[in-house]
């Protein structure tokens, strides 16, 4: 199966972001002819203040980001793992950070709401309080892409190995992680965490990322980029450079099976009290 990751520099302009995503997906289809395309976290809207995020959120299936990705999947006959989209929640005070996945016919086949909220203080003292605007999801989500079971995760989820073990328990052979990793944490943690999750789950780990600057409130924030694919042995098989663009590679279910037979960690697990 051939896959393409889209690396974007989304900002607080929803129409512009959707147009950029459409352009890059069309470019990937024309140049790479992939079976599966992954977009980054919050590809439709990144930055702004809390009120801006609330206003940009959409109701599925009626929102512009949802409809644009659905139509592209149908038109180009490709699976689209639509990074994450700001989704209106039942509770009016907060929204969801939500992945939606479409099959080759444009049918929605998965919906995952980010579970772990990015509430941290960066090394330079910048505070991130994702839970102020976003309500966490609860469900562990996988879906079938042709004959490959794909697990869903988003950005900060990467720091919680138990989620990825739960995805493997549900049969995941490939895991998608759309992200908007900060520049400060990304330069030290991004690749090593992606490789660690791939090695311990013995899956293909496919991480599409945001890159560059965006404005959030009165701050200019920077994302790390470096979208990448890691194979089940932990090798980085594709990696984006700086700036927006596309990175593609091929993945093979046989390698998942081979690695799991060579190092059968699933059979060696021991429960602890």
Active site members = 41, 114, 155
Measure the CA–CA gap between 135 and 50, rounded to whole angstroms: 13
Of 118, 191, 116, 123, residue with least CA distance to 153:
116
Of 162, 156, 168, residue with least CA distance to 131:
156
Measure the CA–CA gap between 208 and 246, rounded to whole angstroms: 9
DSSP states of 109-134: EEEEE--S--EEE-TTS-EEEGGGTB
Measure the CA–CA gap between 173 and 31, rounded to whole angstroms: 26
């Amino acid at each position: 199966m051939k896959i393409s990751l889209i690396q974007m520099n989304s900002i607080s302009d929803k129409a512009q972001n959707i147009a950029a995503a459409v352009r890059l997906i069309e470019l990937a289809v024309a140049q790479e002819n992939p079976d599966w395309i992954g977009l980054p976290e919050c590809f439709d809207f990144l930055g702004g203040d809390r009120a801006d995020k609330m206003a940009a959120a959409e109701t599925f299936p009626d929102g512009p980001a949802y409809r644009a990705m659905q139509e592209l999947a149908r038109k180009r006959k490709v699976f689209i793992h639509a990074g994450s989209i700001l989704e209106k929640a039942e509770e009016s005070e907060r929204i969801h950070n939500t992945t939606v996945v479409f099959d080759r016919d444009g049918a929605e086949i998965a919906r995952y709401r980010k579970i772990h909220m990015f509430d941290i203080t960066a090394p330079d003292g910048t505070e991130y309080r994702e839970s102020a605007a976003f309500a966490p999801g609860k469900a562990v989500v996988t879906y079938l892409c042709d004959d490959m079971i794909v697990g869903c995760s988003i950005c900060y989820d990467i720091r919680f190995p138990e989620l990825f073990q739960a995805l493997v328990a549900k049969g995941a052979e490939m895991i998608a992680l759309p992200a908007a990793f900060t520049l400060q944490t990304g330069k030290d943690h991004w690749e090593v965490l992606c490789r660690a999750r791939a090695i311990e789950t013995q899956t293909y780990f496919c991480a599409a990322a945001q890159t560059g600057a965006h404005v959030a409130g009165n701050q200019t924030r920077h994302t790390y980029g470096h979208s990448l694919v890691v194979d089940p042995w932990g090798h980085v098989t594709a990696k984006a450079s700086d700036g927006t663009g596309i990175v593609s590679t091929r993945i093979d279910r046989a390698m998942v099976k081979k690695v799991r037979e060579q190092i059968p960690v699933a059979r060696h697990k021991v429960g602890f009290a």
